[in-house]
Amino acid sequence: MQLVLTNELLLEAYSQGLFPMAYNAGSPYIHWVCPDMRGQLSLTDIHIPRSLKKQINKTLRSVNIEIRIDTAFEEVIKGCAEDTDARPETWINDQIANAFLALHKDGHAHSVEFWEDGALKGGLYGLAIGAAFFGESMFSRSANASKICLIHLVARLWKGGFTLLDTQFVNDHLEQFGIYEIPHDEYARLLRPAVKAKADFMLKGYSETSLLGEYFAMRKQEG
């Protein structure tokens, strides 16, 4: 019998440290994953390569590039599920994609999107529960598009009062940002209060420029 990924089931599973993955995009089945070591990114001390920060500042001044939140969630998932040379196989099947669309409609799942000349060129998506954000996947069709979205996400989470950014695993793509691992027991200790705390992802009234400005100012002061 195929498992039905309801919103209630997924929210409870993520709150307990579990998340679903398909064996591949064509598989009708999913399995629950709970890694012994959990990938994490710091919201205040994430490493931002100098060249990337210059590109981010340049995009903020560009009239052709725009960072949007939650305007093309389904398209972002489709982009993340695409086969590429670097990622010939994906764990996102139709069941997981549809489940996250339902989470998005209820305001739990969000996307950060990179738009260039009116076209979606990259993005990422994930799940927010309390003050915890669970990053799911990202994609790029333009140089560094997903990396730029990641820094925008981090600034938004920091400003919104989030305390935990979970990446599930450590991978080569995230190593340049100072990703690190913690044991499951430590992750569970951090997760329990995070999912019960209050945080604001949408931050209505804040522009991407103002969010990044405050974030970079904070890092400069603490550095």
Ramachandran angles phi, psi of 55, nearest 5°: -65, -40
Mean pLDDT to the nearest integer, 17-33: 92
The stretches of 36-110 forming alpha helices (DSSP H) are: 50-61, 73-81, 94-105
Q: Which of the residue ranges 84-93, 124-133, 195-204 would you say has the lowest mean pLDDT? A: 84-93
CB 209 within 8 A of CB 155: no
pLDDT at 88 over 70: no
As a whole number of angstroms, the distance between CA 149 and CA 112 comes to 6
For the stretch 49-66, pLDDT in tens is 999 999 999 999 999 999
Higher-pLDDT residue of 122 and 86 is 122
- Predicted local distance difference test score (pLDDT) of residue 89: 75
Mean pLDDT to the nearest integer, 11-39: 94
Q: Output the DSSP codes for 117-150.
A: TTEEEEEEEEEEETTEEEEEEEEESSTTHHHHHH
CB 5 within 8 A of CB 95: yes
